[in-house]
Amino acid sequence: MKKKFTRNSAAFIGAALLMSVCSINVNAQTAAETAKMNAYVTGLMKKMTVDEKIGQLNLVTGGMAITGSVTNNGIGDGVKNGTIGGIFGLYGVAEVRKMQEAAVKGSRLHIPLIFGLDVIHGHRTIFPIPLGMSATWDLDLIKQSARIAAKEATAEGLNWVFSPMVDIARDARWGRISEGSGEDPYLGGRIAAAMVHGYQGTSLKNADAVMACVKHFALYGAAEAGREYNTVDMSRLAMYNYYLPPYKAAVDAGVGSIMSSFNVVDGVPSTVNKWLLTDLLRKQWGFKGFVVSDYTSLNEVTNHGLGDLKTVSSRAINAGLDMDMVGEGYLKTLKKSLQEKKVSMADIDRACRLILEAKYKLGLFDNPYKSLDAAREKSDIMTVANRVAARSAAEHSFVLLKNDDQILPLKKTGGSIALVGPLANNKRDMLGTWVIGGEWEKSVSVMEGIERVVGDKVKINYAKGSNITDDTTFIKRLNFGPGMVSLDKESPEDMIEDAVKAAKRSDIIVAVVGESQSMSGESSSRSDISIPESQQKMLRELKKLHKPMVLVLFNGRPLTLQWENDNATAILDVWAPGTEAGNAIANVLFGNYNPSGKLTTTFPRSVGQIPLYYNHLNTGRPYTTGPTKFKSNYLDIDNSPLYPFGYGLSYTKFQYSNLKLSKTNLKGNETLTATITVANTGNYTGEETVQLYIGDPEASISRPVKELKDFKKITLQVGQKKDVSFTITPDKLKFFNSNLKYDWEPGKFIIEVGTNSEITESATVNWMK
């Protein structure tokens, strides 16, 4: 029977043709813009000397943000001589303008500089640390945080940010776990793309857009023993299936630059690794931007045992490293290596071209001063709207780990609260790790936030209770910046006594405890990831009073909290919330916002379980229950985590039921729909992140017990039910097999949907090719 051609059919064909024409026009426009850029850069490079080309590959520090023992001198002369391509660690309209004018007006070819900075979780208005932001599971919120950071950074003359950090981390001892998005490659990739889009905006030429720099390429989060700058060793299968996907997602999102990591990959330091920087990144993934080293990572290749600075610099340029950060290896050795034919002019030209293309894409050749607007520097930074956004992000990032007897939310009127702990009346540690432009003096303390919410309607009895730590050696290590951690004049014993007295006069104890700003982040690995002993002593004494005790937990990593979980009435993990910390914490404690955060890293019971992560491979002797001998288990502790990946409570209750699959037998490119009913059976409106996991128990290689493949965040009113559906195609079944081919294999698959990685409803399908 012939199908009738309808008006709707014509409309559909017309729309398809219009889309096709639009696509052709966009592609033609892109091709024209690329051709124009190529012609401009080629023309410029024909005028450049070898020294000027090498100069473009030299990135120096302006001295405001230093992350190593080496700094640069003679920057002004270098800019005028054309031997500096970019500066980082320098910001502020007046300061940036001086340097840009020196480059544009003082150098022979008037080539503008690129200005970069570590803008990690906000520039002036500080958002929660990235690990906290990832706990929101809210991609729009994460993208918005990057967009605000870009606007503030450009308002102070910056056009390049060293973010996002997308390293997968399974070891909570590693300090920089705080700077990433946790342990899952799928979620990490989604967040990486959102951050790139937020930073770079609709066009890099916009005055409020910055070029993102994804880091650290690659595998840096797998440092052995969780120790910063340490070596990494893993199989290609682990790389491709678990650690590389977030970098790839950032490349697919159009990230403009990538930073090499300090570690080795297959025995070769990333900074000189041709397979990594050229074969994988450029040839396999099609990356078109430039690669910059980490802070003196090129020089440090010598320590890896690969030769002197001249030797490793020639290896780096041949491998595909385009820009050398701080170490001046390129500046001091490349010309001689060129004369000795150890490097080619083609490699120097390639790197130079990529740096110049980045500046062209940023619009700096059209207007080197495009973001240098003194009015914006006053009007676009730390605005009320920016602070409101930071407060909302913080509220969404908090994870309710425990809430016995529904002690939270607290009442806004009547009664009394003992507010204790070294982080309760503290502004400095609200911002968290790796904050360059943020001003801790402008942050809101927990005490200030609570006072704003309850005023004089609740009696607040405050006592500091303890130092962050009483260990003077530890304090010296924490104080890489002046005054970051100090000892109180009062003795530890007297401080605890003050806290006990405050608690005796109060109905409820709110103890604000955990890590200080410098206890996580770069160069902040810890072998003991518990709350410091000074604070534990205070908590143990408070527990003896047998009063309800709420812990507000500051941390840049998963902590071991077995005692706290067993003894506290409630635990609210607030990470390091940023500028609006106190306001956000008070809003959640007193019920103005119902917490909805979910963990993106597994919390161990003991540091001895590390590395501990949900998407592990199975073993031939898995432990379930029963006799423990000759199974894969510990003699002294349970295998399970204290809090699993995806975990997070709410003030309300969510009930999952009735998982339905549209089919149980599929073939080829069919589509499967998995639907589950979620009901709010509690007493508060709440948000819930519904998570989809898939297991592949019949594969050609051992596969994870389950993998996150999708998620949806929903809001339910009291008593409301909602059917949540996930669309599953063969793309969600793909993995890299032993031949590193990305494909799916037929067989049985276990579909799981639930509130976290451990509590799910499951069903099985058979899917044939």
Contact 318, 343 (CB under 8 A): yes
What is the pLDDT of the chain when averaged over all its residues? 95
Mean pLDDT within 265-270: 98
Using alpha carbons, list the distances in angstroms from residue 596 to 122, 396, 571, 690.
22, 6, 14, 11
Give the Cα separation of 582 and 425 in Å (integer): 9
Contact 446, 582 (CB under 8 A): yes
At residue 49, what are phi and psi to the nearest 5 degrees?
A: -80, 170
* Res. 521: pLDDT tops 70: yes
At residue 272, what are phi and psi to the nearest 5 degrees?
A: -125, 25
Give the CA-trace dihedral at 587, 588, 592, 593, to 10 degrees. 120
* Res. 609: pLDDT tops 70: yes
Mean pLDDT within 538-546: 98
Contact 111, 166 (CB under 8 A): no
Least Cα distance to 162 among 199, 118, 210 occurs for 118
For residue 3, the model assigns a pLDDT of 45
For residue 648, the model assigns a pLDDT of 98
Q: Count of alpha carbons within 13 Å of 77, Cβ hemisphere only? A: 3
Give the Cα separation of 138 and 141 in Å (integer): 5
Q: Cα angle vertex 455, ends 449, 461, to 5°?
A: 80
Q: Which helix (H) or strand (E) holds 709?
A: strand 707-716
Evaluated on CA atoms 711, 713, 718, 719, the torsion sign reads negative
Q: Count of alpha carbons within 13 Å of 625, Cβ hemisphere only? A: 0
Counting Cβ atoms within 10 Å, is residue 125 exposed (0-12), middle (13-18) or buried (19+)?
buried
* Res. 11: pLDDT tops 70: no
Give the Cα separation of 155 and 445 in Å (integer): 27
Q: Could you read off the pLDDT of 129-188 as tens digits, one per residue?
A: 999 999 999 999 999 999 999 999 999 999 999 999 999 999 999 999 999 999 999 999
Give the Cα separation of 206 and 190 in Å (integer): 24
Q: Could you read off the pLDDT of 57-68 as tens digits, one per residue?
A: 999 998 655 455
Give the Cα separation of 725 and 559 in Å (integer): 34
Give the Cα separation of 26 and 148 in Å (integer): 28
Q: Would you give the distance in Å from CA 736 to the centre of its chain?
A: 24
Question: Which residue has tokens 């200080």?
Answer: 516
DSSP 649: B
Contact 470, 534 (CB under 8 A): yes
The residue type of 20 is: S
Mean pLDDT within 430-439: 95
* Res. 704: pLDDT tops 90: yes
Give the ranges where 362-403 is alpha helix by DSSP (H): 374-379, 384-397
Q: pLDDT band for position 669 (50/70/90)?
A: very high
Least Cα distance to 603 among 560, 551, 552, 553 occurs for 560
Q: What percent of the chain has pLDDT over 70?
A: 95
Q: What is the reported pTM?
A: 0.95
Contact 651, 406 (CB under 8 A): yes
Give the ranges where 340-383 is alpha helix by DSSP (H): 345-361, 374-379
Q: Cα angle vertex 326, ends 324, 331, to 5°?
A: 55
Residue 309, token pair as written in the block: 């600075």
Give the Cα separation of 80 and 266 in Å (integer): 41
Question: Which residue has tokens 């930074």?
Answer: 381
Q: pLDDT band for position 481 (50/70/90)?
A: confident
Least Cα distance to 387 among 552, 577, 199, 180 occurs for 577
Which residues are part of the catalytic machinery? Answer: 294
* Res. 15: pLDDT tops 80: no
Q: Which helix (H) or strand (E) holds 694?
A: strand 686-695
Least Cα distance to 524 among 562, 569, 557 occurs for 557
Q: What percent of the chain has pLDDT over 90?
A: 92
Mean pLDDT within 537-542: 98
Higher pLDDT among residues 434 and 745, named by residue: 745
Q: pLDDT band for position 1 (50/70/90)?
A: very low
Terminal-to-terminal C-alpha distance of the chain: 31
Give the Cα separation of 545 and 499 in Å (integer): 11
Least Cα distance to 561 among 612, 606, 510 occurs for 606
Q: Count of alpha carbons within 13 Å of 205, Cβ hemisphere only? A: 8
Residue 178, token pair as written in the block: 């705080």
Give the Cα separation of 503 and 465 in Å (integer): 10
Least Cα distance to 615 among 586, 574, 645 occurs for 645
Give the ranges where 479-518 is alpha helix by DSSP (H): 492-504
Q: Could you read off the pLDDT of 70-84 as tens digits, one per residue?
A: 456 668 889 999 999
Give the Cα separation of 279 and 353 in Å (integer): 19
Give the Cα separation of 151 and 480 in Å (integer): 29
